[in-house]
Amino acid sequence: MIDLKQQLVEWRYHLHQYPETAFEEVKTSAYIAEELKKMGLEVHGNIGGTGVVANLTVGDGKGVIGLRADMDALNLNEIKDHPYRSQHPGKMHACGHDGHMTNLLGAAKLLSERKNFNGTVRFIFQPAEEIGKGAEAMINDKLFERFPVDEIYGLHNMPNLPVGTIHTRPGPIMASEDNFVIRIKGKGAHASSPHMSVDPLVIAAEIILALQTIVARNLDPIETAVVSCTEIHTDGIRNAIPSNVEIKGDTRSFKLEVQKLLEDRMRKICESICEMYGAECEFEYTHEFSPTINWDECNKIATMAAQNIVGEKNTNSDCAPFMASEDFGKFLETIPGCFVFLGVKNEGEELIPLHNQLYDYNDEVLVIGAEFLAEIVQIRLSK
């Protein structure tokens, strides 16, 4: 009989070879559904597009726990040469979602075999995490009306944390992401005649610098936020001052009131500087990811499960928050739950960050992740 580690590796290598991006996870979800059916689970597909929910009930308990994994890959070309490398050019699992799916399949396997709980588990495989739209799509497709849960749990691998360690915290653990576009319309002119222009590049430079004063001078120093301008585009050429400049970027924070402050101050700064120079301004601000805010009681459960699986010394119940964003936060707006980080970095190994063309999930944590998720259920739905 195939052992657990061997089965998990087999699943992950298959999923890694055939990555699919947001809302295109058709073959991925079909493969997952088939494996879950082999375990005897009740499986439902096409939720929120390509999402999958599988149910496992043991006994007559009324409690319901949700366990979630994300399915989508990234539009990156894998450059690491290994036998299970991506077979889809330009797409790869560079964020470890292949490992997350495998962790959850492993938890389903363990729980379906052990049946050491009394209640219902829902295994939720979510599409389109990378673009921050999958959780909302499933919710809009009546996920929690059709498949109610009392609590929901998830994890994400972290390449900067020691292998086999689990990290969580009550309250904010991952930030929101809001995107912005600033369009400045000036007046172009020959580069030798700047006095005949309304130079949108100069205006853009002043705006980019001024935006950094929001966190430094408008935000309470106890709060946390990031404002990053990441792209700038013009319609000029080397010897022509442009007429138009577009600035793109994003902000990160943990609270709704901070998000509002950032948006309001950014809008005012951009419009005022443009008005001062005689240019037109168009300011666009969109909310992409909710902050991921762990519920205190669920954090205690996750901590207990982690200590049971990896030991107290390998469990951090009050880790530092991470300023990146995670679509899981959308679930936690209305459903109690907890999100944790699973360390995957071997000692002495070069750090390869997430979203890197060389990234690959560490098989050494496949069993740990599966056992951790199963342990949450065993604790929460104990007989």
Q: Is 130 annotated as a binding residue?
A: yes
Q: Which tokens is 9 given?
A: 């590796």
Give the residue from 127, 153, 149 showing the smallest Cα distance to 57: 149
Decide: 223 and 260 in contact? Cβ < 8 Å. Answer: no
Q: Cα–Cα distance between 6 and 86 in angstroms, integer?
A: 20
Helix then strand count (H, E) for the chain reads: 10, 16
Give the residue from 292, 349, 284 showing the smallest Cα distance to 322: 292
Q: Is 10 annotated as a binding residue?
A: no
Decide: 112 and 39 in contact? Cβ < 8 Å. Answer: yes
Q: Cα–Cα distance between 45 and 51 in angstroms, integer?
A: 6
Burial of 14: CB neighbours in 10 Å, binned 0-12, 13-18, 19+: middle
Q: Is 97 annotated as a binding residue?
A: yes
What residues are paired with 250 via a beta bridge?
Answer: 179, 228
Share of the chain residues as helix, strand and coil, in percent rounded to the nearest 5: 35, 30, 35
Q: Is 129 annotated as a binding residue?
A: no
Q: Cα–Cα distance between 38 and 162 in angstroms, integer?
A: 34
The CA distances from residue 320 to 174, 281, 289, 316, in Å, are 10, 38, 19, 10
Q: Is 16 annotated as a binding residue?
A: no
Q: Which residues are documented as binding site for Mn(2+)?
A: 95, 97, 130, 156, 355
Q: Which residues are documented as binding site?
A: 95, 97, 130, 156, 355
